[in-house]
A and B are shown apart, each in its own frame.
Chain A
Amino acid sequence: MCSLALFPPPLSGGQITLYEANNELVAGSSPDCYEKQGAQTLSALNFPRETLKPHSRPESSSKAAFLDHKDTLWMRSAGAWRDAGLSGLLDEITNSAEEVPKWLAVSSGCVLALIRWMSSFHGSLFPHLTLSGEEMTAEFSQVSDSAIRSFAWHPHTDKFAVALLDDSIKIYNSRSATAPTLKHRLQRNVSAMQWKPLCASALAVACHTCLLVWHVDPSSLSTRPSSGCAQVLSHPGHSPVTSVAWSPSGSLLVSASPVDTAMMVWDVAAENCVPLQRVGGGGVTNVSWSPDGSRLLAATPSALFRVWETRMWTCERWPCLKGRCQSACWSPDGSRLLFSVQGEMVIYALTFSDMTGGPKSAAVVADLSETTFSGIDDITVGGEVQSLAWDPTGERLAVLLKGSSSHPAIIAVFKTRSSPVFELLPCGFVSGEIGAEPRLIQFHPHFQHGALLTVCWSNGRISHVPFYFVSVGRPHTGGSPPLPHITSKIEDYSTTHTLYTEQIS
């Protein structure tokens, strides 16, 4: 079992991790290293929070902003029914007691009290149901407090989508200068995005009330695709949506909401869905498809997660001891699942195989408890896991550790080895500028020379950290690329205009 004490000490004094080569992480001292890289890359993106205005629309109706005028009771009741359902209707009737018969007002008041009592009882069983939609999105999805709400690499090409604080989505492509901005009336509180595999254009976006599937024509020169390019997928009771996952074959889309006990399997072309309901858990927060498409992880807000097999769509329950499943990732061959549990500072592994009928219990593979490195000044790292990311070659595992009041959040990178036994080996810590904490991490899906980790920082910067290594298992198409040698690297990569040319001068 690997622990943080085996790691090389983290950088101090404002140094920035730039890349990994020859098995060690190389740091740059200058704080404007990103700027230098930015001169060559298409986008050393920076989204300062001040330039973006968050949406100011309140979640409930904007009734309070308008002058009061007298509708008939029927009109108001119909409006309340439309806005807030049964409880809104009862509330309206109870509040306008002088206009309705006394028995109606009294009985609706009683029913309302009963409903509230029942919902509070239900809420005490599942405390997350008392949260508002935005709090729920912040709690259960990876959405951060920085200007960048979500980030998604395209699975096949050098293109990514960034969801910003003002509910717009920008798409950056290494091959074109236009960066389309996607805006839609229903695109609020974006919590997750994913590009459709085996497709150039489709992007699924999990929003507050619905699921949007954008079809962004890559050859179009338009910077502002119309909202007609988006399909709206919604189902009553299925909001807020906090997670989406395309099947690796690109045929199905799964969405999850912490309020809905059913997760939805969508047929995007027909815009209809099949609910997969299971009692228990109180909802589904996070769905993640294994890369071979045979299994699907569904985490719930309770201390329980499920692993569905996708042939006949049956599931096995995995109760956790301590808290809910915070984050999880699949190995590239889909046989191993790494996950972390809220309240515990370890990483668990589950190994699936077709022969033995599945694992019996999860094994602890890494210990992330707080460790103090003594140097010039003592640095403490460690804590609970915020998110996990495994690179597509299966050789690097990035773990985003939550910060606390005493120490900031940090990314720990492990080397992974699956033969002869599965184990994690220390690689190093990735640190950014002073005062910037990592918020979102994602690996580039097809980096040719190893792995490329994209990090979104709390100050709104997006940076890319390459890990140069020769992968064992990866089949190289189009001839094997030359091993990036450290000395020849600069002329190798600085001339190509790709998104990930991160070099120091």
Chain B
Amino acid sequence: MLSFNQDCWFVRKVVRWRALASIAWSVLLLPATTTLFVFLVRFSLFHPVEWISECFGLLTAASTIFSLILLCGVVLVIGFFNLEGYTVVPSIPCSRVALLAKVLHPRQCVHSLVHCTVGMMVMWCASVMAGGRYQALGSPCTRGESADAPEVCLNEYHLFLLLAGAFIGYSHSFLGVVQNMNYVSFQIIQQYKYLRCKGSLPWVLKCSAVQSLYAVRNYVALYFFFGHIPRAWISNSLNLPIDRVFFFFFVFDVRNNAISLTLFLALFLCLCVSVCFSVSSAVVSGTEDLPQTPRPSVLLKTPGSVFLKSSGRGISSPLTAPFTPDLDSPFSTPSLRHLAAQQVPQQGQWLGSVQSPHIIRRGPKLWSTSTGLLSLILIKKTLQVFFILFTSALTCCAQVKGFMAKRVLVVYLFNKLPEASSQALFADSQAHIWALEGLSHLVAASFSEDKYGVVQTTLPSILGCMLSLQEAVDRHFKLPHASSKPVKTSCSMGDSTYKTLRFALRAALKTSIYRITSTFGEHLNAVCISAEHQKRLQQFMEYRE
């Protein structure tokens, strides 16, 4: 998760300000959405004058003002609470048990609890504003046998809405985990914020409408089967008798359904607008500092360190010194290093760092070093500790594992999800894509501009690294499920770009090598690289890859 105490320019300069701006926007827009909501709830086609005057009366009532203030507080709380979660590298559970652990994680439980509470509060505000029979938890009712004095019963309309709020809050939080809703992808093109927000607004509205309709469906089904439990509990604890006619009305009363629908929509829009604003703004600014063509002042540091270090040669040359500034490069991600290490184990420089996947998981992640061009923080320590404990326990007790492996449920839980490991491996490869593009542009530019041969002397190692990465990626795509495209979900709030990053990396890698070969042409024959790489390079020069 993003944490603020780490000194990270992306968080400091971009996410924090954008998120604050988005929270401010959603608070500013709250009166407008509240007014819209009141007008929708009180809508009556045949009495327009009455409707409007009633709405204006309601808008100036004390209870509405109080609800509005409460809603402001709620939006602020949820905004700041969600702020911590945004990440550019999603965590992808590789098996069902990992997913389960993610859902049941204490942090996630707190997250769900806060969302439940917030949902209930929003619904309470909404029901107070809606007024009428939704207003309060207790309502006067006349029991059949004692018609003499009005008695206070449990108002099930109100309870229904409160529980709906809790349910939607929880499902939002749950889906957020399952669909990686806190993941923010980088956009492929840059646009001004206004245009981008304008462009994404219809999509956000449509998605939240669709999602809230699904949530209503699920909630109604759930309430139909299990609604009596909270009803009985509350009526017992508050000593309120239950009015028995509710469900009959609920099923057949069109107006009630319509109102609950609008309530859901309003709630969901409230939640989603804040999410979407922060998300889109973070995305917009995320690409702001990306150079279209490499700006030497920024990028000079990066390329050498990605590839030169990993190739294990060429560092000793003094000419390469400017290109290998720090050994602790932000781009040397463990996962890709691991991937390439399988290819070139004889280049022993990495062997120290490549031991087992679990140890690698604990190593510095791609975005965590503060020196990087794009250092963003993603360390899910507790989850990883949990995972490591779990797996080490398993390896220790191999017999237990063998025994457990025969149980169907265990096998179901521990089986690897298809594609998930591939997605997890390439989850952080956006930085590599940029590094490849920047490096290849630099090398291509060096063909005509590098008077002192700084890049040219390191060209063998650059090419060698790119080609071995290409080989490793090719080999990875031969695995089952690696080359299958993920199923497209038509309308989900989560961003699923991370699922296709491996294809993007493969395409960017090929483009980068082709950029170099098409610039240098026949001159590459003079570069001394290993025979195997030479063969591969020849394929690229003949445009046969």
Residues of A that sit less than 8 Å from B by CB: 154, 156-157, 159, 175, 198-201, 218-219, 249-252, 265, 267-272, 274-277, 310-314, 477-478
CB-based contact A270/B497 at 8 Å: yes
With an 8 A cutoff between CB atoms, is B545 at the interface? yes
- Evaluate whether A267 and B511 lie within 8 angstroms (CB atoms) in the complex, with A275-B199, A312-B192, A477-B522 already known: no
Checking A270, A275, A311 against B190 with a beta-carbon cut-off of 8 angstroms, the contacting residue is A311
Number of A-B contacts (CB under 8 A): 84
In the bound complex, residues from chain A placing their C-beta under 8 Å from that of B544 are: 200, 218-219
Provide a sorted-by-A list of 17 A–B residue pairs whose CB atoms are within 8 angstroms: A156-B543, A157-B542, A175-B542, A199-B507, A199-B514, A218-B543, A219-B544, A249-B511, A252-B189, A265-B189, A311-B292, A312-B191, A313-B190, A313-B195, A314-B192, A477-B522, A478-B523
Query: Which parts of B498-513 form the interface with A (CB within 8 Å)?
Result: 500-501, 503-504, 506-508, 510-511
CB-based contact B199/A271 at 8 Å: no
- Evaluate whether A198 and B514 lie within 8 angstroms (CB atoms) in the complex, with A277-B199, A311-B292 already known: yes
A265 to B503, CA, bound (A): 17
CB-based contact A250/B511 at 8 Å: yes
CB-defined interface of B190-209 with A at 8 Å, one 1/0 digit per residue? 11100100010000000000
A156 to B510, CA, bound (A): 14
Q: In the complex, what's the smallest C-beta–C-beta distance from B285 to chain A, in angstroms?
A: 13
Output the nearest chain B residue to A200 by Cβ-Cβ distance: B543
A345 to B288, CA, bound (A): 44
In the bound complex, residues from chain A placing their C-beta under 8 Å from that of B506 are: 269
CB-based contact B521/A312 at 8 Å: no
A310 to B191, CA, bound (A): 9
CB-defined interface of B507-545 with A at 8 Å, one 1/0 digit per residue? 110110011001001110000000000000001001111
In the bound complex, residues from chain B placing their C-beta under 8 Å from that of A269 are: 500-501, 503-504, 506-507
In the bound complex, residues from chain B placing their C-beta under 8 Å from that of A218 are: 543-545
Count of B interface residues, CB-CB < 8 Å? 33
Checking A200, A265, A272, A311 against B514 with a beta-carbon cut-off of 8 angstroms, the contacting residue is A200
In the bound complex, residues from chain B placing their C-beta under 8 Å from that of A249 are: 437, 511, 515
In the bound complex, residues from chain B placing their C-beta under 8 Å from that of A313 are: 189-191, 195
In the bound complex, residues from chain A placing their C-beta under 8 Å from that of B457 are: none
In the bound complex, residues from chain B placing their C-beta under 8 Å from that of A200 are: 514, 543-545
In the bound complex, residues from chain B placing their C-beta under 8 Å from that of A312 are: 190-192
In the bound complex, residues from chain A placing their C-beta under 8 Å from that of B195 are: 313
CB-defined interface of B214-238 with A at 8 Å, one 1/0 digit per residue? 0000000000000000000000000
In the bound complex, residues from chain A placing their C-beta under 8 Å from that of B545 are: 200-201, 218
Checking A198, A270, A478 against B511 with a beta-carbon cut-off of 8 angstroms, the contacting residue is A198
Q: In the complex, what's the smallest C-beta–C-beta distance from A265 to chain B, in angstroms?
A: 6
- Evaluate whether A199 and B510 lie within 8 angstroms (CB atoms) in the complex, with A157-B543, A275-B199 already known: yes
Checking B188, B488, B521 against A274 with a beta-carbon cut-off of 8 angstroms, the contacting residue is B188
Output the nearest chain A residue to B187 by Cβ-Cβ distance: A274
With an 8 A cutoff between CB atoms, is B485 at the interface? yes
In the bound complex, residues from chain A placing their C-beta under 8 Å from that of B189 are: 252, 265, 274, 310, 313
In the bound complex, residues from chain A placing their C-beta under 8 Å from that of B503 are: 269-270
Query: Which parts of B166-201 form the interface with A (CB within 8 Å)?
Result: 187-192, 195, 199
A499 to B514, CA, bound (A): 23
Q: In the complex, what's the smallest C-beta–C-beta distance from A100 to chain B, in angstroms?
A: 21
In the bound complex, residues from chain A placing their C-beta under 8 Å from that of B488 are: 271
In the bound complex, residues from chain A placing their C-beta under 8 Å from that of B521 are: 477-478
A478 to B514, CA, bound (A): 17
CB-based contact B292/A272 at 8 Å: no
A268 to B188, CA, bound (A): 10
Checking A156, A265, A272 against B497 with a beta-carbon cut-off of 8 angstroms, the contacting residue is A272
A277 to B203, CA, bound (A): 14
In the bound complex, residues from chain B placing their C-beta under 8 Å from that of A272 are: 497
In the bound complex, residues from chain B placing their C-beta under 8 Å from that of A198 are: 510-511, 514-515, 518
In the bound complex, residues from chain B placing their C-beta under 8 Å from that of A175 are: 542
A314 to B196, CA, bound (A): 12
Output the nearest chain A residue to B490 by Cβ-Cβ distance: A236
Between B199, B488, B543, the greatest number of chain A beta carbons within 10 A of the residue's beta carbon is seen for B543
Q: In the complex, what's the smallest C-beta–C-beta distance from A141 to chain B, in angstroms?
A: 24
Output the nearest chain B residue to A159 by Cβ-Cβ distance: B543
In the bound complex, residues from chain A placing their C-beta under 8 Å from that of B497 are: 267, 270, 272
Output the nearest chain A residue to B519 by Cβ-Cβ distance: A477
- Evaluate whether A265 and B188 lie within 8 angstroms (CB atoms) in the complex, with A219-B544, A271-B485, A271-B488 already known: yes
A394 to B508, CA, bound (A): 29
In the bound complex, residues from chain A placing their C-beta under 8 Å from that of B188 are: 251-252, 265, 267, 274
Q: In the complex, what's the smallest C-beta–C-beta distance from A38 to chain B, in angstroms?
A: 25
